[in-house]
Amino acid sequence: MDNFLVDVRRFVGKVPFTKDAVSLYFCLIDSKTPLFVKGTIAGALAYFIAPLDAIPDFIIGLGFTDDAGVIATTLATVARHVTDEHRRQAEDFFNT
């Protein structure tokens, strides 16, 4: 996960849910986030950046649909732990 922000830069502008994934990342590294939430987020983000998954990312039009489902489900599951501060940090990441 150390290189997540570096890895995610390759998806900027190509994957519409990237900002949600980055918000989840900032929730993951927040010391106030409960351990079970961190585990859920870590699994989802690992799946997102993994080059091989259920639908390979290189398949144009379909490649990120499974990733979108994982990120959306995770975000819905841990939504109360993803704060406005995490979303602001994600916004700042994209504006730099």
Domain ranges of the chain: 4-8+19-94
In a 3-state reduction of DSSP, which class is residue 7? helix
pLDDT of residue 60: 61
Cβ proximity of 65 and 91 under 8 Å: no
Q: Phi then psi for 5, rounded to 5 degrees? A: -65, -35
Q: Report the share of the chain in percent with pLDDT over 70.
A: 80
Write down the pLDDT at residue 50. Answer: 79
Summarised one tens digit per residue, pLDDT across range 55-77 is 665 556 666 778 888 999 999 99
Q: What is the CA radius of gyration of the chain?
A: 13
- Report pTM: 0.83
